Amino acid sequence: MRASAPTVGIVLLLASAIAGPMLAGCSRDASAPGTGDQAAPPARTGQVTVSGDDRNASALTWRAPAVQLSGADAGVARRAEAALAEGKLYADADSAIPLYLALLKRSPDDAGAKAGLERALTALLAEGDSALADAGDDIDALRRAHQIAAVARTAAPQDAAVRGYLKQVDLADRLWDLNREAERDLRANRLGESGGGALAKLRQVLRLQPHQPRALQGLAAVESGLIRRAEDAARRSDFVNARRWLAMAAVVRPGDGMVPDAKARIAAVRAARIAQLHDEGMRALLQNGGVDEARAKLADILRIAPAGDPAAGELIQRIDWATHYGLFRPGQVFTDALGFGARGPQMVVVPHGGFRMGADRGGDDSERPAHAVRFDRGFAMSRTEVSVDQFGDFMRASGYRPTSARRGHSLVYDERSGNFVLRSGVDWRSAYDGRAADGDLPVLHVSARDAEAYAKWLSEQSGQRYRLPSEAEFEYALRAGHRGLYPWGDGAPPAGVANLTGAKDASPGGRHWANAFAGYGDGHWGPATVGSFAANAYGLHDLDGNVSEWVADCWHDSYRRAPDDGGAWLNPGCRTRVVRGGSWASAPAQARAAWRAAMAGDSTSPRIGFRVVREL
């Protein structure tokens, strides 16, 4: 006999009306009361209400089929044994349990009938256990389990094994209800992410019956639903909620591999969205006024991208470039097409920024006060001085008549006297000594007005705005981020740094400079071919040395009230202009980074050339 179990659930409560003397006489409990030959009262029906499914909600009852006993009990017992052997337990009057109950009704102390009923109940409960094994997701199996419960409770309501089985049926009902409610929640998308919902019910099922397959399938559905929400959020670029849904999904079925796969998919969606926004931002920068749109794309990237994302970094840089350089980038070298099929001078994009302009030490009052200047936008400066060939393109295309040609003379270096003298027939085609100049030398014998005419012509031909550099732009580009006395620092010039006056330099006739950098020689007397010496940190050649250069500013005796935005300091109709940068024939003091000189704007010289700036 099995140990007795406590009274349980709905099924046992419904069984309370069945405890009649006849049924008690059929109990497998050895202590069940019996009265020998006392007549039993009429049989009472048992009823089980299945609480699992609506289709099973009606009462399922079992009334023992009426058995007509005739002849000896031995014959009935043999019929019952045969039915039990065939597995016919309760379906009709020829089944084992009804036959044994009939024998016991007639002879309550019939030991053989009691033993037979015990075996029949064992077989019945085995069938019940088999039905319960499938009852988690099979309503027909649950119905069979309930029908068997009704038979067992009618046949032996006090039997411990029967009571244990009834408890399992009650549990099956509870599990079915919880699973059914959880599935309704799933269909309604109530996953339980905030408590309750399908997740709470499924977890309750698994507390009652660990590893219950239907509940485990429900958990998988909850996890899938949360992952689906995460992926839907990702498709809307809502990656904050995508991460939140994934975090919830990760605790539903830890370690199953679904969430890591989903994370990889969402990461791919995020990467694709970031790439799309990056490309849209880059395209916007190609349009006039597209910086604001690009910034909006960048804001979207920063909202969804991880820290340090390279696409965001690149777009930040390109927006910065577009803000300060238009379609260019710092250090970029380019040329503009000119209207007659030629190309303009090579231009280098100078980075925006600030510096301290003027002399903190040395120099004279015209170089003071030193003051802060800041360029909010970069600019492009010609990589070298304008060459003879480049100026010649302008002359041939425009018919312009420069100052030296109109005057018929210019200053040249005279080797015989070692001085600078006026010589007739000298113009832009002439070298420092009056002879014909090679095309790749810097153009000389041009006035400030000639230089401005060339810049104006470039503007007309290219459709861009060319001009002479401001004095601030020139010094900023010359220093290239350094603050030394000279562009290269405070000491003597390094070997080959620029075309300067060096003690080792010698003229064609063997002359030497009286005031020069001691120990320095660059191998040139007169200007060198443009770009012969190394570029500075901004990619520009010969800003200090080779030739001094015209800038756009009018001359002022000091920097008091000078512009701080890097623009040229102009006065209407001014005649005196500014020359910057040392030349091949400048004293060492004139090679200082802050050096500046006043020069009549119509002057021409074998030591002065120019370069241009293009606005971005």
Query: Beta strand pairing status for 548-554 and 608-609?
Result: parallel
Quote the Cα angle for 446-351-459, to 5°.
40
- What are the beta bridge partners of residue 579? 550, 597
Query: Helices 96-106 and 73-86 sit at what angle, rounded to 10 degrees?
Result: 160
Predicted TM-score (pTM) of the model is 0.64
Under 8 Å between Cβ of 97 and 64:
yes
The DSSP call for residue 576 is E
- Which residue has 């004293």 as its token pair? 587
Cβ neighbours around 40 below 10 Å, total? 17
Domain 347-401+436-615, classified CATH 3.90.1580.10, yes or no = yes
- Residue ranges per domain, the chain? 9-179, 189-256, 267-325, 347-401+436-615
Under 8 Å between Cβ of 533 and 494:
no
Quote the Cα angle for 419-420-421, to 5°.
110
Under 8 Å between Cβ of 11 and 162:
no
Task: Give the three-class secondary structure for 573.
Answer: coil
**pLDDT tens for residues 56-115?**
444 468 999 999 887 677 889 999 999 999 999 999 999 999 999 999 999 999 999 999
CA distance 79 to 430: 139
Tokens at 537, concatenated: 């940190």
CA distance 253 to 39: 61
Q: What is the CB-side half-sphere exposure of residue 534 using CA atoms within 13 A? A: 9
Helix spans in 193-309 (H): 197-208, 213-235, 239-250, 258-285, 291-304
CA distance 86 to 508: 133
Say how many residues make up the chain: 616
What is the reported pLDDT for 60?
A: 60
What is the reported pLDDT for 321?
A: 87
Residue type, 394: F
Q: pLDDT below 70 — which residues of the chain?
A: 1-60, 71
Question: Is 264 exposed, middle or buried, given 0-12, 13-18 or 19+ CB atoms closer than 10 A?
Answer: exposed
What are the angstrom distances between the C-alpha of 423 and each of 56, 142, 417, 477?
123, 121, 13, 34
Tokens at 148, concatenated: 């068997």
The DSSP call for residue 158 is T
